Amino acid sequence: MCGLTTRHFFNILCDFGEPDEYISEFLRVHPTATICKKITDLIENRRSTRPLSIQLLGKDPQHLARIAEQLGNCAIHGINLNLGCPVPKIRKKGVGGSLLVDLNTVDSIISALLNSTNLPISVKTRIGYWHASEFDEILKHLSSHSISKLYLHRRTVRGLYEEQIDLGCIKLAKAELRCPVIANGDIKTASEALHIIEETGADGVMIGRAAISNPWIFRQICSLSHSSQAFIPSGSDYLDYIERLKNFTDGTGPSEHRMLSSMKKYAVPIADFVDKVGDFSCKIRRAETLREFHGACEKFFTAPDFNAFGSG
């Protein structure tokens, strides 16, 4: 997720509970694109030794292949093609989810990537652009390539993040493809993750937004999958997490406004997850100083009735 799943955040997960593998924020590929600093920083300075794939977002097979070839010389484990980003400003550029309206170009891109590197090529997609009925045709095209994994967000592109989730698409993909199929989209808790795997036969789950609000979720999934009691974070655990997030900017000398803005990007999803009433979420959004921000966090997370799965 752009601006959130940085090297610093991945390093936090090393202490809170890691996923089995990582996929980077997308690297935007255009005619003059290079492997940018945030990607090289992630590759070279991350703490984890678990597999890392770099996600590419683009529409030109030639330039995507050029970047993939360069990445083949880096210490990574795979390349992931983004065919699912539904954000309107991304779609307007003809990349991400908008590529699902031109599956011939998708074929050309995947072929170019496979021919440019020996790294595994995985795909992250949605089940269609306009309608779920498009998914059969998408699967036919994907099945003609030797992709390593399919990460499947179970909504259409036009459905953004509000459309009802389609569980049946996972079973369809499993029947059509020879590669592992990973479920993505609206997975908020460890119990939901395991339910989806059991219900659909998915080979795993991909989690992004929920890891921001609950960085212990991968640890919880692991515990529940082994019939153990899942870790439940306390208010002090969340305060420690927020303190670590603040340290992202240590040594760079940002203004208070910039630091507050950075903190809010992470704190708003946290507040939305743990605050059913909405008072804390409102205070976080309206905070105008770091002192006001941290005061709201301290008051909420030290309250006697704090509940990591929804206070209020």
Q: Which residues are part of the catalytic machinery? A: 85
Q: Coil, strand, or helix at residue 275?
A: strand
In terms of DSSP bridges, do strands 78-83 and 52-57 run parallel, antiparallel, or are they unpaired? Answer: parallel
- Could you tell me which of 210, 205, 144, 224 has the C-alpha nearest to residue 178? 144
Q: Count of CB atoms within 10 A of residue 129's CB?
A: 20
Q: Count of CB atoms within 10 A of residue 304's CB?
A: 5
CA–CA separation, 157 and 155 (whole Å)? 7
In terms of DSSP bridges, do strands 181-184 and 150-153 run parallel, antiparallel, or are they unpaired? Answer: parallel
234 and 247 in contact (C-beta within 8 Å)? no
Q: What is the Cβ-side half-sphere exposure of residue 198, based on CA atoms within 13 angstroms?
A: 9
| Distance from chain centroid for Cα 172 | 23
DSSP class of 229: P
DSSP class of 19: -
Phi, psi of 53 (to 5 degrees): -110, 145
CA–CA separation, 260 and 136 (whole Å)? 45
Here the tokens at position 126 are 């949605």
CA–CA separation, 38 and 126 (whole Å)? 26
| Spatial strand order in the sheet of 150-153 | 22-28, 52-57, 78-83, 121-126, 150-153, 181-184, 204-206
